[in-house]
Structures are given as structure tokens and as C-alpha cells.
Structure 1
């Protein structure tokens, strides 16, 4: 068995892989508005962050089970989806970039960093959320946009499994191969995430991670930040470990084993309160291309 060395310094970044909801755009708050509207209709209390934290970054089926186990609504899951879709149709068309996003994307581009999108949103929701934000999503070529319902992601392998980020990286490397450039290794990727399952997904992919959480989520995980950054926390952990171990990839990239989380204080995950004034130099991205 190969040992993961926490003393190994992370290499310079060649690629940036982005989550979308709550990281690039303000859709996480819009999800809360929609959910709480439906909960109020049926006399249920607003969604607490202790539950919302478990939903973030997960594929719809997984998030739906967690939500309905808590909500105990007097309607079927199918009826909930009908009401949810109707509300989302209007509100998702109002999404806005979060602070610092546009400057960050421009800064990465000017430094020659390759970029891809890896979102748990399905194709229909992605189109509603993104179609009016052409300037933002122009930074991600179509072939480098990986969505939650991408058929290349096996069933049950959404975040926190590493598959979506490894797939996003493979799309970049496919383009580089055509251009005759050397492939990007997982440890040369910087994953940008706001959710706890998303951070774990990036760490399990053998990549470096920026965690930029919603302020309320940060309150929820107060005192456990280091565990989050290592990809070692989150709810429903036992079920996730069983599923991930079934198809763990037994390869090592830069002494970070793909398929496994990291270690406390290993330097491969960092907490950022905002994406504004991003410290490119500290990630080896100081010089512009």
C-alpha cells in the first residue's frame, strides 16, 4: 500500500474546475426560497441549514431522499417536484454571479489556466440558470461543461464521489491531446466548491480544493473546518464510504491516492471567505500568460 505523505507540497495549478450553484452564481439562496415556499404551503417549518448542508452539491435523487426524510410533507415526491419545477422556472432566470467571480475567471484566463465546469445541476436547470449569463459561462467551452445528469457519470456516483471532477479533467486533457500539449494531472487541478460533499469530491479526485462556503454553512461547520478541507466530514458518512469503496481507484497521483480523501492540515484544501481578490501567487499562478 502506498503512503499518502502530508508533507508533500502541492504543485502549481494548471487547471481550475468549478462547481456552479452557490459558488459561481447565487442559486443556492434561490433554492432555499423555492423550498421554503413549498414548506410554508403545507405548514412545515423553514429548511434549517443543518439539513440544507446535507443537500448541497448532491445529485437530485440523493438530495431528494434526505430532504423528504426530514420534511415529512403530506404530498408525494412527484407532486413536490411539480410544484418545485413551477417555482424554479421563474426564479432561476434571475441568477446573478457571486462577488469576485467575473474577476476570478478573467484572472485565471489571463494566466493560461484551463477551466471546466462540474455541476450537479441537470441539463434543464443548468440552461435556465445560465442562458442569461453568457459572459460568465463563455469561460467554459461546451465540451468542458459536465452536468449532474451526464450519462458518463455512473448511477450513484455523484458528489462526494470523485467521478464528476475526474470527468471534467478528462475533457480538458482530451483538448490538450489534440493540441499536442502534456496532460494535466489531478494534483495540478484546483477545485472551487461551496458545499461539503463537493469538497470531498475534489479531495477524492486527488485535487487541490478551495472551499468558499455560504456564511450560514460555515456557522454549521464551525470547529470542523479542517475536517471539511480534508474531505473527512459530512453526513451519511457510513453509506458514502461503502459506496465509494466499491469502486475506489487504486492509483496514486503525486502521492495523493485517487478515490480517497486527504489528511488534516495537509495543505491541499484551503478555506476562502470570498472569491474576491484571489491570491493567485500562493497557488503558483502569479504570472500572466
Structure 2
């Protein structure tokens, strides 16, 4: 969701920079940013605390983050090509699951003003879903496994991971999708590309990288 469908990754950067400035640190740079994308909040928070040596516990950091972020989520919107893709998949009757590391609270805050559009998803799984064991967020594949299980239940189908497309923007999510066994469509933030190294090596022949969802060749993917 974040950075792939809606522009909340930019909001994360702005709010984190506010916190860092309070302690005379920062700003956040993309070499660290790419390590945080797609991770569960507590895991990402610990990386930030350790990297910048902040005098905060993970709980204190998350509380401060929540206070600042909650004032900004209503400003977020869809990234280029995202809304069009959702509408297209829905119109074709292709099952769609949203699997986000965001907690249910953050999901609601980020999407409350976009709720009608998010109804296009058949299944929504958030990072605090009790079926995802502690410590098994992305880059582990558990969230995708739960999402597919729910899709199969809803459609009385037997879709296999290798029949799925996983759309991601962050390295952790890409690794989760690959381990899950799906073909991955990787759309990094425009400013992240130069810090990602060899994208083809990360994908290992199990996906492709785009600069925008607007570049997606639906026919080539059998959509």
C-alpha cells in the first residue's frame, strides 16, 4: 500500500524528519529509507533508533510517530496508475488482496478519505493480523500466505502462489513476494533506484522492475 498505491512513503519521510530534528539528527537519507520500507513499525523503529542513536524506546518512538503522522494522513492520495490498475483488475473479476505492514489503525487513518476506492479490494490484511506470527512480517511471506488463503476462501478457489502477481515498492516486500513464490512487480520510489544496487539480482528472475505503475504492460502479464 505505502509507496505503491498511495504516496504515504513521502509522509513517512516528512514525519520522521520532524522527529529527528527534535534531537538534532537527520535528515533521513534514501540509503536508510530503503531499509525501512515495508517493515512492521516496531522493526523499522528500532532500526531508526539504532542508526541515529535516539534516546527513545521503540514504544516512545512509535507513540511520537503516531502523534505526528495522524495529522497528515488525510493529505495522501493515489500514485500514478494505481487507481486505474485497481479499477481494471476489479472490472475483469481478478481477485485482489491488499497485504500491508501497516497496523489496522494506520490503515484506517491513511484510507478513511479513500474508502470507496479501497472497497475494490476483495481482501484486506494488515500487519497486526493475529494470523501473522510475531516477528514474521515482511520480508517473511506470511502476510501473502494469509491474503491468498482469504482470497481462496472468498472465491471458493484454489489459486496457487505461482499464479499470483505481487506488487511492491520496498525490498522487504519484494523478498517476501519472492519467498511466497509469486512473480513480483517492483515499483520503487523514483528517488530510491540509485540506492538499490542490482535490482535484477534481487529479483532473481522472479519479477520485473518499473518506474511507475503507468508502465505496466497488462497484456504481457496475461491481464
TM bin, normalised by shorter chain, reads over 0.9
Query: Which deviates further from its counterpart, 28-37 or 182-191?
Result: 182-191
Q: Which structure is higher in RCO with an 8 Å CA cutoff and minimum separation 6? A: 1
Instruction: Determine if the alignment matches structure 1 residue 226 to structure 2 residue 217.
Output: no
- Return the offset for 1:277: 4.8
Query: Counterpart in 1 of 2:49?
Result: 68
- Return the offset for 1:75: 3.7
Alpha-carbon distance in structure 1 between the residues aligned to 2:202 and 2:92? 29
Alpha-carbon distance in structure 2 between the residues aligned to 1:86 and 1:131? 17
- Return the offset for 1:217: 1.5
Query: Counterpart in 1 of 2:219?
Result: 281
The CA RMSD measured in Å over matched residues stands at: 1.3
Instruction: Determine if the alignment matches structure 1 residue 166 to structure 2 residue 145.
Output: yes
- Partner of 1:131: helix, strand, or coil? helix
Give the TM-score normalised by structure 2.
Answer: 0.96
Give the TM-score normalised by structure 1.
Answer: 0.74
Q: How does 1:116-135 map to 2 (within 5 A)?
A: 116-135=97-116
Spell out, residue by residue over 1:23-75, the C-alpha distance to the aligned partner (whole angstroms, 9 max, x if none).
01000000000000111111112111111111110112211221111011234
Q: How does 1:1-289 map to 2 (within 5 A)?
A: 20-141=1-122, 144-177=123-156, 182-222=157-197, 224-230=198-204, 266=205, 268-285=206-223
Corresponding residue pairs, total: 223
The answer to whether the 8 A contact 2:42-2:58 is kept is no
| 5+ long unaligned stretches in structure 2 | none
Spell out, residue by residue over 1:113-150, the C-alpha distance to the aligned partner (whole angstroms, 9 max, x if none).
11000000001111000110023201113xx1000000
| 5+ long unaligned stretches in structure 1 | 1-19, 231-265
- Return the offset for 1:107: 1.3
The answer to whether the 8 A contact 2:45-2:62 is kept is no
Report which of the two structures shows the higher radius of gyration computed on alpha carbons.
1
Greater helix share, 1 or 2?
2
Query: Counterpart in 2 of 1:248?
Result: none
